[in-house]
Amino acid sequence: MKYSIRILLFSLFFGLMFNSGRAQIRIQNYKYNEINNWQAQVQLNHQQMQLLQAGVGSMDEFTMEVKVLMNVEATRFNAVFSVQQVAETALDVNTLLNERINAFKEQLKSLGIKDKDFVVDLISQVPIYGIETEKKLFSKNQNEVPLGFELHKIITITYNSYNLLNDIVFEASKNEIYDLVKVDYFAASPENYFDTMRHAGLAYLDAIFKKYKKAGFELDSFDKMMAENSGTIYPISRYRQYTGVSRLSYDKLLKKSGNEIVMNPIVAPTLYYDFLPFTDFDIVINSAVNKPNIQYTFDIKVKYVRNKKPEVRIEKKVEKQFYMITPDGSVKLLDLR
């Protein structure tokens, strides 16, 4: 009996631990994902620590490098929607789709979006065929018959405020437009940002140069060679898939229908914006990021090579003397001047 009680208590204790653990995972599911990626993170940290270890190169040449990152909020956006329509005739399919698009366009005017910022691109208009089985007395024939037409268009909407996308999607849903293909980000005068990063990088290198000189490490005798490289990272390339623990319930929708329905839900990926981390950069401009940004990168490398002056060889002038032995055996110095 005591043995059975011990098993029961152990089971209850283990069950409480298991349930509390599940509750904690549901509340903090991002921690759950971090635990799953723990081994990969440890390996990454180890690699980063190895990169921090300084090395001594040749005394005749060395390289200094500075990496700059600048986060910039976009000033202009493009939202791209895909819209399709099916109807029995080509006239019907164009009429129905144009009505939806025009209604969408009119509703967006209340958001400040002008006609020139609303562009429609025709993708395809194709007939739809089906197979009709013709039954005869001793055979069956299958014939291809036209059923209707499918029309596909792309809508591109240009707007100037990041928060306006929610209202655009809301107006699109009123006209049965649900497929948001992508959102493009643009910044005005990106060349100005590269100039800012170049100035910051060169000022950083100049500060290091002065500190080395103050420490007694003279660099004036070195020749300098410089190279630079730049890049742009748009938000669309920085979205990562996220494994969520919670799941949506469709019970309310099924009960409302009142019929036996087999669900065929569309599994949409769960994504989040993960900006380029700052760990590999010496300078970060606009480091507070609370929304998707365009990230500009700038890399400056300066190679110092010791200036080896060629050795000057001074040839010592050697005076040559000539002697002559006379017939009587005496030696006589010849004057050849």
List pLDDT tens digits, range 289-326. 999 999 999 999 988 888 776 656 666 666 677 666 77
Q: What is the mean pLDDT of the chain?
A: 78
Give the model confidence (pLDDT) of 212-228 as tens digits: 888 877 777 778 888 99
Element (H, E) at 226: strand 222-233
In degrees and rounded to multiples of 5, residue 224 shows phi and psi of: -115, 135
Is 0.85 topped by the overall pTM? no
Domains identified in the chain and CATH numbers: 59-73+190-311 (no CATH), 76-186 (3.30.70.2970)
**Smallest Cα–Cα separation from 161: which of 118, 112, 116, 232?**
112
Of the listed ranges 8-17, 30-39, 202-211, the least confidently predicted one is: 8-17
In degrees and rounded to multiples of 5, residue 245 shows phi and psi of: -90, -40
Is the distance from CB of 178 to CB of 171 less than 8 angstroms?
Answer: no
Other C-beta atoms lying within 10 Å of the C-beta of residue 101 = 19
d(CA 161, CA 76): 7
Per-residue pLDDT, averaged over 162-185, amounts to 94
What pLDDT, on a 0 to 100 scale, did the predictor assign at position 5?
Answer: 43
What pLDDT, on a 0 to 100 scale, did the predictor assign at position 246?
Answer: 64
Element (H, E) at 118: strand 118-135
Per-residue pLDDT, averaged over 73-96, amounts to 94
Close Cβ partners of 218 (under 8 Å, ≥ 6 residues apart): none
Give the model confidence (pLDDT) of 256-274 as tens digits: 655 666 656 666 667 888 9
What DSSP string runs through 121-146?
EEEEEEEEEEEEEEE-SS-EEEEEEE
Between 191 and 5, the higher pLDDT residue: 191
What pLDDT, on a 0 to 100 scale, did the predictor assign at position 231?
Answer: 93
d(CA 109, CA 133): 50
Assign residue 77 a region (left: φ > 0; alpha: ψ between -120 and 50; beta: otherwise): beta
What percentage of the chain carries pLDDT values higher than 90?
42
Per-residue pLDDT, averaged over 174-199, amounts to 93
* Residue 13 pLDDT level (bands cut at 50, 70, 90): very low
Per-residue pLDDT, averaged over 137-149, amounts to 67
Give the model confidence (pLDDT) of 57-75 as tens digits: 566 777 889 999 999 999 9
- CA angle (38, 42, 46) in 5-degree steps: 170
What DSSP string runs through 53-117?
S-----TTEEEEEEEEEEEE--SEEEEEEEEEEEESSHHHHHHHHHHHHHHHHHHHGGGT--GGG
Strand, helix or coil at 228? strand
